[in-house]
Structure 1
Amino acid sequence: MGMNVSSGRGGDEPDVMVDINTTPLIDVMLVLLIMLIITIPIQTHAIKMNLPVGSPPPPVTQPEVVQIDIDFDGTILWNGQVVPGRGALEARFGQVAAEPVQAEIHLLPNKLVPYRDVAAVLASAQRAGATKIGLIGNEQYMQ
């Protein structure tokens, strides 16, 4: 707290201003605050978990792999054999979906086949309940 004190003289002498200089005080306070922030230990919240040790056993049986090729004209090949129609395709998908361990279905469409043919095969698999479907041969579409 400071105050202005007048000397009472009416001369040309300027009045003396008696104020405390707060700049060094603020500097010291900022340095102390930074030191306090640096010295506070970092709070680490750790949860101790008992994780299993070792590797899991390999699967007892490897799933069967079904290769479905779609030619440029829409012809569907199931493991190299031509499927006569959509009904036969859906029946085969139904057999795959009914197994306790579903076979992996690898779908390999030709680069020139229309998308509607590929989408129809995927829709048939979905309706039958086949869940393990993968598109392979995608590198042919890279340019």
Structure 2
Amino acid sequence: MNTIKPSLKYKLIAASLMGFIALIAITPLCGFLFQCGCDWPWLGLDAGCNYHDLHAKHKCPWCASLATGVLSAVAATLLSVLTVMIAPVPRFLRFVNEWVLRISFGSAIFAVTALVMAAIAAVRQDYPLGVGRLLISATI
């Protein structure tokens, strides 16, 4: 006898899928936001990150500060998974597959949260590459 309601079952599956997507996407997103060299897991993950370059003038904020990196990754992943679980699906969008909507909402929250956390890390650590270049030059 299955005791889980079908709607909860689908939300749990969608949340698990969102968590998996977020954990795979966080490192290349780091590379995109900070221009540090982080890449997809199958392309070396953080092997090309400027954090590992002894002569790099600037080190990736997420890799240089474990607390910042972990906090950013956990916040973005957790908020995206929670969004998938609790976000209501508007009635006018019911014709679209609910999984697609939930994963789309979760992905948007993931990207926005990661961008905000990256901006904070870049400004606090005076990181002038990637998103930091835009923010630091805007404040000068």
Sort the TM-score into its range (normalised by shorter chain). Answer: under 0.3
Higher relative contact order (CA 8 A, sep 6+): 2
Instruction: Give the structure with the larger helix fraction.
Output: 2
Instruction: Give the structure with the larger strand fraction.
Output: 1
- TM-score, with length taken from structure 2: 0.22
